[in-house]
Amino acid sequence: MMSLVENHAAILVVILPLIAAPLAMLFGNRNVAFLLSLAASAGSFLLSIYLLMLVKDGAVLAYHIGGWAPPLGIEYRVDAANALVLLIVAAISLAVLPYARTSIEKEIAEKNHTLFYACFLLCFTGLMGVTITGDAFNVFVFLEISSLSTYVLVALGAEKDRRALSAAYDYLVLGTIGATFFVIGLGLIYMATGTLNMVDLSERLASMEGNRTVRSAFAFIIIGMGLKLAIYPLHRWLPGAYTYAPSAVSAFLAATATKVAIYVVIRFMFSVFSIKFGFEQDTLKYIFFPFAVIAVFAASFIAVFQINVKRMLAYSSVAQIGYMLLGIALFSATGLSATLVHLFNHAVTKGALFLAIGAIIYQIGSPLMANMSGLGKKMPWTCAAIVVGGLSLIGVPGTVGFVSKWVLLMAALEAGLWPVSLMIVLSSLIAVVYVWKLVEILYLEPLPKDSQAREAPLSLLVPTWCLILATLWFGFAADFTVHVSDIAAQSLFDGKFGQDAIIMGTEGRS
């Protein structure tokens, strides 16, 4: 039994939530649905730890679905980069689910709770599938599974604020345009090469740099994914979706959805198309780099003036995505490693912050800063979590935020771009402003006399503090994340995704 699970770990991380979703619907009981979701997330979480342990020193695993060998069959392929992303998605899902059980009681009508869990599981399935698959078209299929359920999850916020509906609609239109651009890109590379398997693609594309079809395919794929990951000028859907979605959904999306999209961009840039292509280096230099810098400054600056805390965190997410793109745009293994470290660190930090804000909203019923004055005295644990998360967002030593900023600074200095490292430090100062604004309201403003606020229930505090402790733990013991990211970045940079893989799950197949 154990060896069966181990052999099929690569498919089980996706299949578990995929099976649990319709089961949760069929049982129709919200407690059963919750337990099923929790079990599926826990299973995926344990298996993604197992997968990460197998690949953390540079091995590549392959799994042939149904025993059909690629390029005919669909292949799942795990290396250090996507094992790390798998772990992020599964860990955040496991932390958010127990939180969601309490938080949705005030946000979503009880009859919709089973549907919420089903959608959540489908979204989770999609994100895991996008990350693990080694087949380019399969990326699109899973992307749409996760996107469609995300639109529903965002729209579920409509019971508190009807603006969730227009936010979900905007997200649907822009997300569909993004996904369709992505499919056009895939169609064009299929026309040029006749294959959709990523390893096969990279072999055939290697000699096709001058091919116009390949170039336009690259453009379509990057723009399509750019919409999904909210590269600075394409981020219009993000603030609305994060602000009006239910708290648990905001936390889950902020921590996972854009991260997975960034992973897909990295995978296509480095493993499918070759990074040696001139047009790709130009894209990094003239598109990613300036927009990343603009994102970091403009979005942080906009965040300062928000009166809605969730909206403020959403704009801060756009800025943090800028840091990740900056890492890619530095065009070095250290830069890429900085991106991957930040992917993990920002997921933990932003997830924790959205959960903590959600706990305040659960108690006072409003996401506006003005209604939160003086809560530091009434909700000490929640507010302490916000302070630690905020420090990590700024990049104070002792938190994960510091680790990512440090690695990014080193990468910028290594590339000889000292103005960039100066900009990283300067933009952190803007983060100080908006984090301080929140801290000031929570601790230094007087509490309204008629305030009924109490400390959040344990079911909200425990998941929040699990992520906060992870923020601190990986801030001190950064060896693990930095090691995995270095290995992943190096193997991406050297194009080792296509190396001879250990094939899993062949036992018992004829």
Please report how close the Cβ of residue 141 comes to other proteins at its closest, in angstroms: 6
Measure CA 371 to chain center: 30
Please report how close the Cβ of residue 179 comes to other proteins at its closest, in angstroms: 8
Cβ closest to other proteins, residue 176 vs residue 274? 176
* Binding positions for other proteins, 370-389, rule CB under 8 A: 370
Q: Is residue 266 classed as helix, strand or coil in its secondary structure?
A: helix
Alpha-carbon gap, residue 385 to 383, rounded angstroms: 5
Alpha-carbon gap, residue 329 to 317, rounded angstroms: 18
The residue within the footprint of other proteins, chosen from 47, 59, 81, 168 (CB under 8 A), is 168
In the block, tokens 């194009």 appear at 495
* Binding positions for other proteins, 181-220, rule CB under 8 A: 183-184, 187, 190-191, 196
Alpha-carbon gap, residue 494 to 313, rounded angstroms: 36
278 in contact with other proteins (CB under 8 A) = no
The residue within the footprint of other proteins, chosen from 23, 49, 112, 169 (CB under 8 A), is 169
151 in contact with other proteins (CB under 8 A) = yes
How many amino acids of this chain bind other proteins (CB under 8 A)? 33
Cβ closest to other proteins, residue 5 vs residue 69? 69
Alpha-carbon gap, residue 487 to 81, rounded angstroms: 8
Alpha-carbon gap, residue 197 to 454, rounded angstroms: 54
Q: Is 351:251 a contact under the CB 8 Å cutoff? A: yes
Length of the chain (residues): 510
294 in contact with other proteins (CB under 8 A) = no
Burial of 67 (0-12, 13-18, 19+ CB in 10 A): exposed
Please report how close the Cβ of residue 159 comes to other proteins at its closest, in angstroms: 10
166 in contact with other proteins (CB under 8 A) = yes
Cβ closest to other proteins, residue 148 vs residue 407? 148
Q: Is 140:272 a contact under the CB 8 Å cutoff? A: no
Alpha-carbon gap, residue 480 to 241, rounded angstroms: 33
- Of 23-31, 54-62, 171-179, 424-432, the window that binds other proteins (rule: CB under 8 A) is 171-179
The residue within the footprint of other proteins, chosen from 105, 163, 286, 477 (CB under 8 A), is 163
Cβ closest to other proteins, residue 322 vs residue 374? 374
Per-residue mark of binding to other proteins, 318-357 (x: CB under 8 A):
----------------------------------------
236 in contact with other proteins (CB under 8 A) = no
179 in contact with other proteins (CB under 8 A) = yes
Q: Report the candidate in 275, 131, 130, 284 with the shortest Cα–Cα distance to residue 205.
A: 275
Cβ closest to other proteins, residue 179 vs residue 253? 179
368 in contact with other proteins (CB under 8 A) = yes
Structure tokens given for 93: 């899902």
Q: Report the candidate in 311, 264, 253 with the shortest Cα–Cα distance to residue 93.
A: 253
Alpha-carbon gap, residue 475 to 403, rounded angstroms: 6
- Of 14-22, 76-84, 145-153, 314-322, the window that binds other proteins (rule: CB under 8 A) is 145-153
Cβ closest to other proteins, residue 94 vs residue 217? 217
SS (H, E, C) 13-57: HHHHHHHHHHHHHHHCCHHHHHHHHHHHHHHHHHHHHHHHHHHCC
- DSSP bridge partners of 64: 75
Cβ closest to other proteins, residue 243 vs residue 337? 243
Q: Is residue 349 classed as helix, strand or coil in its secondary structure?
A: helix
454 in contact with other proteins (CB under 8 A) = no
Q: Where does this chain bind other proteins (CB under 8 A)?
A: 137, 140-141, 144, 148, 151-152, 155, 158, 162-163, 165-166, 168-169, 172-173, 176-177, 179-180, 183-184, 187, 190-191, 196, 307-308, 368-370, 446
